[in-house]
Homo-oligomer: A and B are copies of this chain.
Amino acid sequence: MATEAVPGNTRENVATAIAVLKQQFGDRLQTGEAICRQHGHTLTWVPNQPPDAVVWPESTEEVQQIVKVAATHRVPLIPFGAGTSLEGHVNAPFGGISVDMSRMNRVLQVNERDLDCHVQAGVSRKQINDYLRDMGLFFPIDPGAEDATLGGMASTRASGTNAVRYGTMRENVLNLTAVMPDGSVVRTARRARKSAAGYDLTRLLIGAEGTLGIITELTVRLYGIPEVILAAVCPFKTLEGACNAVIQSIQLGLGVARMELLDEMQIYAVNNYSKTNFDECPTLFLEFHGTQVSARDQVEQFKEIALAEGAIRFDWAEKEEDRRRLWKARHDAYWAVKSTWPGHEVLATDVCVPISRLAECVVETQKDIKEHGLIAPIVGHVGDGNFHTSPVLAANDPAARAKMEGFLERLAARAISMDGTCTGEHGIGQGKMKYLKSELGSGLEVMRQIKRALDPLNIMNPGKIVALTE
């Protein structure tokens, strides 16, 4: 199988490539079993497929050297950020070398007046925000993992809770430096906010999950830390009411920064884990960014809409500690589920639908969960129509596993049937390849043409997103 997918990829070739790289990288190349297994690590149930070696480059030039060796010897390369991807993105189904970007963690330049900064791909989102705080700036994209790297986030087109106001990685990367499969180094664009100069190579690499090249540096957009940040909790009688309130606030252009929906079961888990006492009903966690005047205006306007849509109450907080407690509870949603149902596996999956279909999609999913006797709390970036569910699964139970697979399949099909996508932000990796065809049809063949053209040897993270042969 391996040789078919990556022609010329023999065990001998892998051994040779590792030996060549070992000479250059010394201790920065490792082949130990534990380290390799850790680099095939994945937060979902996709089985671990460790690479043959792990290498830690420190510069674009070193990545270029690695790619050239890999191309010569036909060895797969799997870029590795923080290993927090959820669909087997960092697995090595055909073996090969994991390229761990964690030592490429330098902030190269901050342009305060332009509100952008240029970093190596291994810089994490926590690191960049710590770095920027004293300048009064921040980078808004916040997928669950605090230590996710900006390169990894670009590769999976990550978003998170702030995307409804600030956009996703797609909207917040100005340019990328990448080593292409042929070893050439490409800077995809310059530092201007917009450009109409040629094909959008930046967006082509964002979301490509390392299958078209390895991102080594990137320039991202920054924002001024808002003068005022207010948070609110708003429980609703019905899930439809919560969704309607969000839709109206978007139509009004309020620009609410965060609008997160938690269903009853997720609230139950949060209360259990975070020792909070939120009403166990569909609830919005909200955040408002603005000036003294405009942030309060948003709160007033949203409150009015929410109460008209059946909000039970609207509690808002200005104190930073209250706000932090709220968002910590939200960000701990996954751990809340883990702790509430101990001794179980917890998966994480996501879909995204047009917002007008969101309530319907969540309600149907809840019905599905109930009908099949599953436990699967739901939390959603409701302003984007994107929601997550974390099914809880008896460990090492093939029957439970089969049942869960059926659920995931129905969930993806449901989202696609509503003109949505099988993943709003987690990506395709290995786990969701099977849904991509029903989602995109002939688009898949275009992706294949691009992959073949840019990576004819199929050495760049093979076996992810799109299979070259069906």
Contacts and interface: CB of A to CB of B under 8 A. Distances in A.
Contacts of A324: none
Interface of A: 111, 113-116, 136, 156-159, 163, 167-168, 170-171, 180, 184-201, 203-204, 206-208, 212, 223-224, 226-227, 247, 250-255, 289-291, 293-294, 297-298, 301, 352-356, 384-386, 415-416, 419-428, 432, 435-436, 439-447, 449-450, 452-454, 465-466
A111 B204 CA distance: 28
Contact of A424 (B192, B203, B247, B436): B192
B192 A199 contact: no
A423 B196 CA distance: 6
7 contacts: A114-B355, A188-B443, A192-B354, A193-B386, A198-B466, A224-B252, A224-B253
B424 A201 contact: no
Contact of A208 (B199, B356, B450): B199
B291 A185 contact: no
B423 A195 contact: yes
A380 to B, nearest CB: 12
Given A111-B354, A198-B447, A199-B208, A297 B293 contact: yes
Task: Pick the most buried of A180, A200, A435, A447: most chain B CB atoms within 10 A of its CB.
Answer: A200
Nearest to A156: B196
A189 B427 CA distance: 14
Contacts of A385: 192-193
B199 A447 contact: yes
A436 B201 CA distance: 13
A374 to B, nearest CB: 24
Q: Is the interface of A mostly helix, strand, loop or mixed?
A: loop
Contact of A384 (B116, B193, B439, B450): B193
A242 to B, nearest CB: 14
Most buried by B among A158, A200, A290, A446: A446
A190 B227 CA distance: 37
B428 A198 contact: yes
Most buried by B among A115, A416, A440: A440
B196 A426 contact: yes
Contact of A354 (B191, B226, B250, B254): B191
A421 B195 contact: yes
Contact of A192 (B111, B195, B254, B353): B353
Nearest to A136: B251
Given A114-B354, A187-B440, A189-B440, A454 B450 contact: yes
B195 A114 contact: no
A166 to B, nearest CB: 10
Nearest to A208: B199
Contact of A224 (B251, B291, B421, B453): B251
A443 B201 contact: yes
Contacts of A352: 192-195
Nearest to A87: B196
A441 B196 contact: no
Contact of A207 (B111, B193, B200, B254): B200
A225 to B, nearest CB: 9
A212 B198 CA distance: 11
Contacts of A355: 113-114, 193
Contacts of A157: 194-196, 200
Nearest to A433: B198
A193 B171 CA distance: 12
A257 B205 CA distance: 30
A443 B194 contact: no
A214 B436 CA distance: 23
A425 B196 contact: yes
A430 B125 CA distance: 41
Contacts of A158: 196
Closest 8 pairs between A and B when the two form their complex, measured CB to CB:
A453-B453, A203-B203, A113-B356, A195-B421, A293-B297, A192-B352, A191-B419, A224-B251
A40 to B, nearest CB: 21
A384 B297 CA distance: 27
